[in-house]
Structure 1
Amino acid sequence: MPESYPTTFPPNFQEKTSVREYTQTQLPLDHVTIKGNYQVPNTTCENGSPVFRNKLCQSTKGNHLVTSVHPRLTTLYDVFNVAMESYPTHNCLGSKTPSQKAFLCNTFAEVGLLRDQFGAGIMSLMKGGLSADQDDSHVITFYAPNCLEWIVADLSCVAYGIPTAPLYDTLGPGVIEHIVETTQSLVMLLSPAQLSSVLHLAGKNKLSSTKVLILTDIADLLTLSLEVCGEANRLSIKLVTFTEVCVLGSLKPMTHIPPTPDTLYTISFTSGTVGMPKGVELTHQNAIAGIATLYTTVTKPSPLYTPASNCYRSLCFLPLAHVFQKLIFYFELSIGGTIYLPSVPNDLNQIFKDIALIKPTHMVGVPRVFNRIESGIARKLETANLLTKIIYQKCIIYKDQKFMDGKHVTNHWLYDRRFTHKIKAVLGLENVRLMATGSAPMLPETIQSMRYLLNTEVVQGYGLTESFGPITVQLANDEINPVSSGFISATTEFQLRDYPENNYIWKKNRSGELYLRGPQITARYYKDPEKTKESISADGWYRTGDIATLDELGRVRVVDRAKNIFKLSFGEYISPEKVENVYLKSNASLMTQVYVYGDPLQSFLVAIVVLQENACLELLQRSLSKVLAKIRFMDESNMTELNSNVDLRRLLLRHMNKNAFASGSLNGMERLKNIKLFFNHISESGERNSGENYGFTVENGLLTPTLKTKRMNARARFSTEFEEMYAEGDLTV
């Protein structure tokens, strides 16, 4: 299995050029050089496509895949050290509590000092009788939300060559036990909120390998109850605060143990739908190749439009337990950016308040976040005065024309300096020059709308945990209707292999199941040779399980997960995520979430819908039904009654279908024929808010931490509702 790839840099790299000079003046690459594919010679295949690389590889040494953008950037240890040398006095990390009015920032030099102190403290704890080995058995588990301590601890583990394994609440006790015992984690970094549950597991002899718990957020152990401290003592588990570990390290400094490209950086356990999750081994080479993908393709926000003291600033609100946010975080470090941590992680309302406070230059999120921004703008425009609506319509026409002329960001005296700038300012996004989304596909119309209304670059990528983030990235000025996932990165090669079960055949329709290989792709699953053999071939090809097509210009378009695509009784194949995106986009003011389901023995689709209560009540007031107009509230307390009201659901469905099919993006078999409503007013932070229907959340097990729908969980949760809808029949007749 090819785990090492020849060291290869972009063809425009010049020897003796510093990292800062090269990345600021020569990257990203000219889009002309990366728009297209290079067919690797002698790779024709009877049951699929040839092997393709980015056309840049025609100009690399030996036509090899790119492994890094600079000789000094071979590990994440190099990334932070170079950033610390280049930007020692720049603000690096910003954090605040909900009660504080402003973020407090640490410079790169200060974060570097904390890294050294905490890392030395960890090494002292490990050498203090816990273990004398220095190998991969020293895995440290992280069980905390995004916070300064999380990031410093990660940098420390990088500096001393210690692999990490993140944990998160939705895994459940059984999976957490499995991960800790599989990794034999001696030390765990965790927030006080998780302490009781971890001690409870340890009390059942479920975490026998864990001997030290390092607590974030508290200055000393005196804030803990005597009962908790006594339980830890009884279990022979040492409790220590993050601050105490730093003090220990300052008293006993230790020389770094720098990693190599092949050193294991992290083990990322994917949220499995059946059985225990797989631990994806990701090395420093995988991470550096991922950073190379971003450097070569993504346009950095222009510092001309931002405060000189902080050229790049962002809010790190996607979970650091997932590789997409980790990759973005290290990329932002490498360009000297200031990274702010959310004051209340997982609370979307507070996240938007934090965004308004820091006014980021770029924003990395997932479709649910961007859909919420777009739907908020759409609701404002619906109630705007006539003049504003006229300006909006003329603005869209102007933007369309300019995009066709190659100008995707404009500076019109009215449409931009007044109209779109005002929209951005209300959201705290007036400094934003780049938005990037991943994790799940976003509707092309949403991307286009965000580009125009926020006058900024909006790009989408495709990637997986196994690829350490995106391996395809849309180019901002490439598609006016961005239906594809973009061009393959120069770090990865791909092949489409026939998937005859669903009629995805390369020679017939340039499609198939996507296979990946390269320095950005994992080589194995942690201590799981059976799963490794199932997904990764002996010659290094990783089977993604995703169906993709390739257009004539070489863009990859990921259709859906092979296991998500289903066939209705008439033989029509349905991609549920596509249908969901169209309904969400076209009904932005009415609904926030939708889960589409199709029984292969039935001839039509049904769905679970999460509504905007106020918008729905307004719709009912405008209806001709006096009975429906009398409904005054919609929540869990009357959800059964509402779902029993066929006239209500029929009215909502008619409205949703009218809007969805006006877009022209769906065919007749993709029309919803029955719906049930779902209400959940408990937020991610556990508080009830009568004014907002949160619907699917991480807390109720229907969303992943990166805000994707857990389709297997949703199918099980609403199995009764699906049976009832099919028994009831088509509500559109």
Structure 2
Amino acid sequence: MALHMFSNVVPNSPEVAGEGKPRRSFLCPEKLVENYPSSKAGVVTTLYENFLEGAHRSEGKEFLGHRPIVNGAPQGYEWQTYDKVKERVTAFGAGLSHLGLAPTGKLGIFAINRPEWTMSELAGYEYNYITVPLYDTLGVTAIEFIVNQTEMEVIVASPDKASIILNMKATLPTVKTVIVMGEVTDALASEAKQLDVNILSWTDVEKNGRDQPVEAVHPTTEDIATICYTSGTTGTPKGAVLTHKNFVSTIGSFHIMAKHGKFFIPSSADTHVSYLPLAHVFERLCQAVMIAGGTRIGYYQGDTLKLLDDVAILQPTIFASVPRLFNRIYDKVMAGVQAKGGIAAFLFKRAYNTKKANLRKGILEHALWDRIVFGAIRARLGGKVKHIVSGSAPISPDVMDFLRICFSADVYEGYGQTEQAAGLCMSYRGDLTPGQVGPPQLCVEVKLRDIPSMNYTSQDKPFPRGEIMLRGNSVFQGYYKAPKQTAETLDAEGWSSTGDVGQWDAQGRLVVIDRVKNIFKLAQGEYIAPEKIEAVLAKHYLVAQVFVYGHSLQATLVGVVVPDAETLKLWANENKLGHKTYEELCAEPLVRTTLQKELAVFGRESDLKGFEILKNVYVTPEQFSIENDLLTPTFKLKRHQAKEKYDAEIERMYKEIA
């Protein structure tokens, strides 16, 4: 019986030396998707029309919800309807026009996720302003670079971020107006007056626009929707120029996938929790997809440590997140099972193995085990989640299986980058094969380019391998005012390089296997992909985070390990060290030697090669975080900064090995 193919070679595509032929999803063999049909009439071609579509589908139901903080305590969710938000967005957009912002003018947004963030963006979509998100985790230097490169005059900001902008005003000559999401305090007003900056509240701008309406100049599909700056792991931020078509074509791809039963289209009966940074394209695409279906969007209260408290109240049906969070849930559940032992562990393992076997038959639910074993785990995400989407970084097959088993939900893995408005690949509903990210989205075609230095070629057997390249309607226009960097990523024929290594599996699905940029050679000539090793070691129950380091002058790898505080405490109790604090345990020689030995065994059991095993480790209690500049805002490790921070420890580890 012939295998079902999820993608096919593009007909009549030419042979190009050093490349495989491009492939498209089997759902769009002839024409790439640009837009999607409206439920009213015609087609949806811009993000403003996408909002109108959602408002129509919602039939006046709830849209944006937040938890007011009263005397330091979060209250229940308060909601605004689609109709109310539409009215406010139109008024706010008109108010911006009265402040001198013209169509295609740059509108800065600087805040964590909250209703005013989304409403400001929607006003940009209606009046054809170009939104430019800012986020302070980039650092002051990067904010200065972005504001000045875009010649930004108007910034919408929360009170704390408004203060940052005013403190930086001496280096931001173009900024004329700061609009505060909330109250303009006397201190902010006084500082703004001294700096000759016009400062207003969001509601004041809204009122001005309501009192003096302005006819909006709506965007076209080719107009720029946003300039989204990527932090990367080193260097100056790059502003990816993304059009309305870049986003809408991906939404259209989801619609056709859903029509064929390969995805879902959210409805007004669904709820999405918004906590991933709106400054990044993944959450913005998520919101655009939710809006298209008239879905409710509830915002977290602003503290990721309290996210699960918000989720318990909100009870989302759709949960989009990054592997980092899913890995933590997986680790906590598995460590808890191990700690309980006895009949509880026996029941969990039996239930888990039964459902895992059923996954291979395409069965997600189990009447008995879902009720008596997995109900408490499902409650961690509110108890009503039907759809889970993982994106931003690769997720391990074990964790994908875990999510399907414990939550009985459809779990999708998306793959994309800022430069494609996050629209590159998505696994299909009902396809429970772990380790793959599905075929190309219906708005792009994908090919693999040979990487001779890494021994990856499009002629490899049994599966073609190479750098992932794509072309199509979600691909960005280039980097803002950066022609050299644009040329390095985007060629004359529209092919965009990703820097990731992929392979086509037997059924034409893409598997992301490596990273072009983050590889290095050891002294004996072996290539190392540290992210792959880190993903394996991070699954060990004692590990919270790990940084793998190697050098072409060294023959071995070393690592910096941040232990999991809870599981380390359990281990300490079993080893007569329970009286010590977490910090003291991290400095304990027995912890270090145990971790090194356990990770070596675990690595071999996980099929790591001998040269991929850590020969020495340094244990630290300090988490890698955005705040200490070791993680990007999308929680990717900043390898250069980690190397600088732990340089002395790395040198000492190599001396000990020698």
TM range (shorter): over 0.9
Q: 1:478: how far off?
A: 2.2
Give the equivalent residue in structure 2 for 1:686.
none
The counterpart of 1:83, out of the listed 54, 58, 62, is 54
Give the equivalent residue in structure 2 for 1:317.
275
The counterpart of 1:725, out of the listed 649, 653, 658, is 653
Matches within 5 A, 1:499-578: 499-509=451-461, 510-578=464-532
- Counterpart CA distance in 2 for 1:315 and 1:630 is 38
Query: How big is each residue's C-alpha offset from its partner over 1:659-685, in whole Å with a ceiling of 9 and x where there is no partner?
Result: 4433x33222222221112223xxxxx
Tell me the amino acid that sits aligned with residue 246 of structure 2: N
Give the equivalent residue in structure 1 for 2:135.
168
Provide TM-score, normalisation by structure 2.
Answer: 0.93
Matches within 5 A, 1:38-77: 38-58=9-29, 63-70=30-37, 71-77=42-48
User: What RMSD over aligned residues (CA atoms) do the two structures have, in Å?
Assistant: 2.1
Q: 1:215: how far off?
A: 0.5
Q: Residue 147 and residue 512 in structure 1: after superposition, are their counterparts in 2 closer, same or farther (change >3 A)?
A: same
Give the equivalent residue in structure 1 for 2:7.
36
Tell me the amino acid that sits aligned with residue 74 of structure 2: Q
Q: Please tell me whether residue 295 in structure 1 is matched to residue 266 in structure 2.
A: no
Provide TM-score, normalisation by structure 1.
Answer: 0.84
Q: Residue 477 and residue 598 in structure 1: after superposition, are their counterparts in 2 closer, same or farther (change >3 A)?
A: farther
Q: Please tell me whether residue 157 in structure 1 is matched to residue 124 in structure 2.
A: yes
Whether the 8 Å contact between 2:166 and 2:192 is mirrored in structure 1 is yes
Tell me the amino acid that sits aligned with residue 326 of structure 1: R
- Counterpart CA distance in 2 for 1:56 and 1:456 is 24
Q: 1:302: how far off?
A: 9.4
Query: How big is each residue's C-alpha offset from its partner over 1:278-331, in whole Å with a ceiling of 9 and x where there is no partner?
Result: 11000000010121233344666699xxxx9x6211210000000110000010
Q: Please tell me whether residue 238 in structure 1 is matched to residue 166 in structure 2.
A: no
Tell me the amino acid that sits aligned with residue 592 of structure 2: R
- Counterpart CA distance in 1 for 2:467 and 2:377 is 41
Whether the 8 Å contact between 2:339 and 2:570 is mirrored in structure 1 is no
Q: Please tell me whether residue 401 in structure 1 is matched to residue 357 in structure 2.
A: yes
Give the equivalent residue in structure 1 for 2:407.
454
Q: Residue 717 and residue 124 in structure 1: after superposition, are their counterparts in 2 closer, same or farther (change >3 A)?
A: same
Q: Residue 168 and residue 550 in structure 1: after superposition, are their counterparts in 2 closer, same or farther (change >3 A)?
A: same
Whether the 8 Å contact between 1:327 and 1:469 is mirrored in structure 2 is yes
Which shifted more, 34-43 or 362-371? Answer: 34-43
Whether the 8 Å contact between 2:57 and 2:293 is mirrored in structure 1 is no
Whether the 8 Å contact between 1:93 and 1:340 is mirrored in structure 2 is yes
Give the equivalent residue in structure 2 for 1:24.
none
Q: 1:34: how far off?
A: 7.4
Residues matched between the structures, number: 644
Q: Residue 288 and residue 548 in structure 1: after superposition, are their counterparts in 2 closer, same or farther (change >3 A)?
A: same
Give the equivalent residue in structure 2 for 1:492.
444
Give the equivalent residue in structure 2 for 1:106.
80
Whether the 8 Å contact between 1:146 and 1:342 is mirrored in structure 2 is yes
Q: 1:439: how far off?
A: 0.8
Give the equivalent residue in structure 2 for 1:276.
236
Q: Please tell me whether residue 649 in structure 1 is matched to residue 592 in structure 2.
A: yes
- Counterpart CA distance in 1 for 2:401 and 2:429 is 10
Q: 1:259: how far off?
A: 0.8
The counterpart of 2:292, out of the listed 320, 334, 337, is 334
Tell me the amino acid that sits aligned with residue 68 of structure 1: N
Unaligned runs of 5+ in 1: 1-31, 128-133, 681-694
Give the equivalent residue in structure 2 for 1:698.
626
Give the equivalent residue in structure 1 for 2:310.
354
- Counterpart CA distance in 1 for 2:513 and 2:361 is 29
Q: Please tell me whether residue 444 in structure 1 is matched to residue 406 in structure 2.
A: no
Q: Please tell me whether residue 611 in structure 1 is matched to residue 563 in structure 2.
A: yes
Q: 1:721: how far off?
A: 1.6
Whether the 8 Å contact between 2:64 and 2:297 is mirrored in structure 1 is yes
Among all aligned residue pairs of Structure 1 and Structure 2, give the percentage whose two residues are the same amino acid.
32
Query: How big is each residue's C-alpha offset from its partner over 1:468-505, in whole Å with a ceiling of 9 and x where there is no partner?
Result: 0131112243244x112221112111121111111111
Tell me the amino acid that sits aligned with residue 40 of structure 1: P
* Secondary structure of the structure 2 residue equivalent to 1:280: strand
- Counterpart CA distance in 2 for 1:86 and 1:446 is 34
Q: Please tell me whether residue 251 in structure 1 is matched to residue 211 in structure 2.
A: yes
Whether the 8 Å contact between 1:95 and 1:104 is mirrored in structure 2 is yes
Q: Residue 79 and residue 451 in structure 1: after superposition, are their counterparts in 2 closer, same or farther (change >3 A)?
A: same
Tell me the amino acid that sits aligned with residue 133 of structure 2: P
Give the equivalent residue in structure 1 for 2:382.
429
Q: Residue 115 and residue 451 in structure 1: after superposition, are their counterparts in 2 closer, same or farther (change >3 A)?
A: same
The counterpart of 1:214, out of the listed 179, 188, 193, is 179
Q: Residue 44 and residue 156 in structure 1: after superposition, are their counterparts in 2 closer, same or farther (change >3 A)?
A: same
- Counterpart CA distance in 1 for 2:523 and 2:437 is 30
Query: How big is each residue's C-alpha offset from its partner over 1:626-672, in whole Å with a ceiling of 9 and x where there is no partner?
Result: 6xx3761122xx58xx54x544311222233334433x332222222
Tell me the amino acid that sits aligned with residue 508 of structure 2: G
Whether the 8 Å contact between 1:610 and 1:679 is mirrored in structure 2 is yes
Give the equivalent residue in structure 1 for 2:158.
191
- Counterpart CA distance in 2 for 1:386 and 1:455 is 25
Unaligned runs of 5+ in 2: none
Tell me the amino acid that sits aligned with residue 666 of structure 1: L
